[in-house]
């Protein structure tokens, strides 16, 4: 059974983005990976989260977005994340991560360097690779 995900006190875009930023800071501090974190949100609840783990997993594909997608899919028991969105730290997702968002059927991508300045990256598209 997967660990429960601690939900923010108030469900808001800023709170979800802050969780992604916190995951990014923690993974960088731990040395597990670079400073990128992400959360998957459906119906105002975090259903998956992940942080960059390229060093810990010896896996160049272990980006925060991909780890969050994997976590959400495991938790809900389905590879279809329709109705969910992703909040990810940093700039726009790389082509690999944007394509993973597309194949997971996420509705939208949001990204930011700060929780109070979120960019709506729109609907994930295939073909950015």
- Say if residues 66 and 84 touch (Cβ distance below 8 Å): no
Q: Choose the catalytic residue: 49, 65, 67, 125.
A: 65
User: 65 an active-site residue?
Assistant: yes
The string of DSSP letters for the chain reads: -PPPPPPPSS--HHHHHHHHHHHHHHHHHHTSSSS-EEEEEETTEEEEEEE--TTTTT-TT--HHHHHHHHHHHHHT-S--TTEEEEEESSSPPHHHHHHHHHTT-SEEEEESSTTS-EEEES--TT--
Query: Which residues are known to be catalytic?
Result: 65
């Amino acid at each position: 059974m997967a660990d429960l995900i601690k939900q923010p006190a108030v469900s808001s875009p800023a709170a979800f983005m802050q969780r992604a930023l916190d995951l990014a800071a923690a993974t960088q501090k731990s040395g597990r990976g670079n400073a990128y974190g992400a959360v998957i949100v459906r119906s105002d609840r975090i259903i998956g989260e992940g942080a960059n783990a390229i060093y810990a997993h010896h896996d160049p594909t272990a980006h925060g977005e991909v780890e969050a997608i994997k976590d959400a899919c495991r938790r809900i028991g389905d590879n279809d994340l329709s109705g969910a969105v992703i909040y990810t730290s940093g700039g726009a997702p790389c082509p690999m991560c944007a394509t993973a968002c597309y194949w997971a059927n996420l509705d939208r991508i949001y990204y930011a360097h700060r929780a109070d300045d979120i960019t709506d990256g729109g609907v994930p598209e295939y073909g950015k690779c």
